[in-house]
Amino acid sequence: MKKLMIFVGALTLTGSLFAQKPASDDARYSLEGLANLNTTDGMSFAAPSIRLRYFATDNIAARVQFGFGGDGSSVVNTPSTESYTYYANPDGTGATGTVDIARSQWNLGLGAEYHLTGTDRMSPYFSAGISFGKGSYEENWANSDGSAYSAVITDAKIVGGYGTFGWGIGAGFDYYVADNLYLGLEMNLTSTSVNNEATTVTVMGNPAGFEPENKMSYTNIGAAHGSVRIGWRF
């Protein structure tokens, strides 16, 4: 977090004194990268996203955003893969067993922005949008029951997944530090519903367990989600 703020400050100080926000007639598109911020459990950064905007007028912009590796919930920075090895003996000898975990997730957001007059370099705006996404989860066990010092002949697989849908409203700003180059900050209040798909368990090739699908939802009011952004308008 500290290094990011130093980088942002350096870009601001080294920007041209004559930089100013362009009119939509001059540059209708912008492409930016987002470092997504989560404040539900303190302050931490989730997986990054990219966003493309189209300025229909100087005040109104449509946007599409793609993210991966995080769903914007309070659970962030979860690794996409994990692998564990278990041994039959405490000294690390004997037969071995493994457990491999694989996760994947993506989300797509569609929205619009209304930009206020601001200043020559500052463009504040309000935003609203919807988002949807999907995630998957899989565990593969080979000669292991998941216990320390265990190497048993138990091959198993666990497969699950989920889908998300949400909406949000927010406010932010673009600050131009050089011609067409801007830094930004955005904070959002969001509501998200999660549909957890059925989870299946297979042991030695045979069905061994089943957890039916279920739904949950959460609204982040008072624990805003946001992003620190850097972008190029063209």
Report pTM: 0.75
User: Which tens digit of pLDDT belongs to each residue from 182-200?
Assistant: 999 999 888 888 888 888 8
So what's the pLDDT on residue 10? 47
Low-confidence ranges of the chain (pLDDT < 50): 1-8, 10-16, 70-76, 222
Domain boundaries, the chain: 2-233
> What is the distance between the alpha carbons of residues 129 and 205, in angstroms, rounded to a whole number?
44
So what's the pLDDT on residue 11? 46
Given a contact cutoff of 8 angstroms between Cβ atoms, the answer to whether 110 and 130 are in contact is: yes
Fold of the CATH domain 2-233: Porin (2.40.160)
So what's the pLDDT on residue 150? 53
So what's the pLDDT on residue 191? 86
Give the 3-state DSSP-derived string for the chain, with helices as H, strands as E and coil as C.
CHHHHHHHHHHHHHCCCCCCCCCCCCCCEEEEEEEEEECCCCCEECCCEEEEEEECCCCEEEEEEEEECCCCCCCCCCCCEEEEEEECCCCCCCCEEEEEEEEEEEEEEEEEEEECCCCCCEEEEEEEEEEEEEEEEEEEEECCCCCCCCCCCCCEEEEEEEEEEEEEEEEEEEEEEECCEEEEEEEEEEEEEEEECCEEEEECCEEEEEECCEEEEEEEEEEEEEEEEEEEEC
Q: How many residues does the chain have?
A: 234
So what's the pLDDT on residue 129? 96
So what's the pLDDT on residue 130? 96
